[in-house]
Structures are given as structure tokens and as C-alpha cells.
């Protein structure tokens, strides 16, 4: 089974993936797979443009978890979308040293459900789970992902609404 672990930068994908790997899951990091598909890279803005169509087309199916903010574009069997309240996400990205424009772009994307919407355009609702990582430990998030993979937690998405943060945090 191929599981996508996706979300806006700063929502906890890498941390949760590391915990799942510690628990024995095979993890593939998106950044390890996109190098041949990078069309443009802007190190100052910390962005890269990836030929996602070609990447998706040529991606070899794996039995494991694909971690990265584009993982939802792959033909995954299940997808977990990690979410984070925009004010907390802003602080996390500031701590990483992201440029202000990049922070604003990602906080706005999170408030507008961009990754969730893209995920639901590619995958049926029944294959998607949304997890709010704002106040949940890495271990707690990993536990939820495991339970979803095992079929012990039902799909869930669309219950997180952070549009109120648009005026205050973007």
C-alpha cells in the first residue's frame, strides 16, 4: 500500500515520517525523488518548480509512506493531510528562517485549504484523512496515521476551518 503524507510546509510531515520510520514503516522522502524533475530553483526564496506531471508519470509505486508536500499528487492508496493553525504555522516557518513572502504564501495556503483541496481533486474522500497537528505531539500524529492505515480510523476531512485567520495572520 502506498500512503501519501502531505501538507503545507511546517505542518510536521518530516517529524511524523521520522516517527513512523522509527516504528518500522518504509518512508520515501519526496525531496529524494524530484531532483531529475526540477525545472527551476530559487534558493533565495526557498522554492523550486518541479515538472509534477512527469514526476507523477514516472514515479515507481512503493509499498510505504511517501512524505512531502506534493505526495498527494501521486496515485496513493491513502493520503494523510497534516494541518496546522495558521498563527502556529507562521511561528514554525519564522523559526526556520523562511523569507516573509514565503511565510505569507504558506500561511495563506494553509488557511485556504490548498493542499486538502488538491488532495480531494486527486483522491476520493474515502481515502483521505486530515490531522490537525497544532497541539498534537509527533507521537500522537504518528499514532493517528497508523490507525488510519490499518483501517481503525475512518476517513475525515473538511472539518478544519481557518478562514478566520486570513485577516489576522496573512
User: Can you give the residue ranges of every domain in the chain?
Assistant: 2-169
Q: How much of the chain exceeds pLDDT 90, in percent?
A: 82
Cα separation, 92 vs 88, whole angstroms: 6
Cα separation, 89 vs 96, whole angstroms: 11
Confidence of residue 13 (pLDDT cuts 50, 70, 90): very high
Is the pLDDT assigned to residue 19 strictly greater than 60? yes
User: Are 115 and 6 in contact, with CB atoms under 8 Å apart?
Assistant: yes
Arithmetic mean of pLDDT over the chain: 93
pLDDT of residue 151: 96
Task: Tell me what the mean pLDDT of segment 61-80 comes to.
Answer: 96
List, for residues 100-158, the tens digit of each pLDDT value. Answer: 989 999 999 999 999 999 999 999 999 999 999 999 999 999 999 999 999 999 999 88
In which region does residue 50 sit, left (phi positive, over 0), alpha (psi from -120 to 50) or beta (all else)? beta
List, for residues 87-115, the tens digit of each pLDDT value. Answer: 999 999 999 999 998 999 999 999 999 99
Read off the C-alpha cell for 27: 518512508
Quickly list H helices, 65-113: 86-95, 100-111
Residue 129 pairs with which residues in a beta bridge? 80, 156
CATH number assigned to the domain with residue range 2-169, chosen from the 4 options 3.30.70.20, 3.30.70.270, 3.40.50.300, 1.10.3720.10: 3.40.50.300
Amino acid at each position: 500500500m502506498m500512503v501519501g503524507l502531505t501538507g503545507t510546509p511546517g505542518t510536521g510531515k518530516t517529524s511524523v515520517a521520522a516517527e513512523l520510520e522509527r516504528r518500522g514503516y518504509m518512508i520515501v522522502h519526496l525531496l529524494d525523488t524530484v531532483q531529475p524533475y526540477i525545472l527551476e530553483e530559487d534558493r533565495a526564496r526557498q522554492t523550486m518548480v518541479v515538472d509534477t506531471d512527469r514526476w507523477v508519470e514516472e514515479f515507481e509505486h512503493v509499498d510505504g509512506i511517501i512524505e512531502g508536500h506534493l505526495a498527494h499528487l501521486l496515485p496513493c492508496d491513502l493520503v494523510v493531510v497534516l494541518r496546522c493553525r495558521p498563527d502556529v504555522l507562521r511561528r514554525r516557518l519564522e523559526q526556520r528562517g523562511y523569507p516573509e513572502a514565503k511565510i505569507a504564501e504558506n500561511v495563506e495556503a494553509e488557511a485556504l485549504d490548498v493542499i486538502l483541496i488538491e488532495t480531494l481533486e486527486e483522491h476520493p474522500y474515502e481515502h483521505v484523512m486530515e490531522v490537525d497537528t497544532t497541539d498534537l505531539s509527533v507521537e500522537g500524529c504518528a499514532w493517528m496515521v497508523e490507525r488510519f492505515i490499518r483501517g481503525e480510523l475512518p476517513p475525515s476531512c473538511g472539518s478544519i476551518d481557518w478562514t478566520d485567520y486570513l485577516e489576522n495572520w496573512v
